[in-house]
Amino acid sequence: MSLTLEIITPDEKVLSTEAIQVVLPTESGEAGILTGHIPMVTKVVAGELKVIRDGITEFIAVDHGFAKVSFWAIAAPIPVAPPVSATRI
């Protein structure tokens, strides 16, 4: 099963993709999100957001903001930089 990740800036939706896992940089450390995660809202800090899908981990540089997590989706209205790299695991 996968979950939907949407990254939104004040100007546009930057990314909408399916993922197996998303790792968010938060004030209390990294938060790994899988399908079925308990709903929550968390503060995102500047750092590296990880999107894991199909054996590939994509790293996305993000600024501070927040993320709303539901059972099957993450909506993250945060500023982002272009993808840094993708690594096959």
pLDDT at 83 over 70: no
More confident residue, 75 or 78: 75
Give dist(CA 11, CA 56) in Å, integer: 28
Which residue range is the domain that position 21 belongs to?
A: 3-88
pLDDT score for 82: 55
Number of domains in the chain: 1
More confident residue, 10 or 83: 10
Pair 38, 68: CB distance under 8 Å: no
Q: Mind listing the pLDDT tens digit for each residue in 1-17?
A: 789 988 887 788 888 88
Give dist(CA 67, CA 86) in Å, integer: 22
Q: Mind listing the pLDDT tens digit for each residue in 24-75?
A: 999 999 999 998 888 889 999 999 999 999 889 999 888 888 888 987 777 7
Q: What average pLDDT does the segment 69-85 reach?
A: 68
**Three-class SS of residue 27?**
coil
**Three-class SS of residue 28?**
coil
Residue 46: give its domain's CATH number.
2.60.15.10
Give dist(CA 28, CA 7) in Å, integer: 21
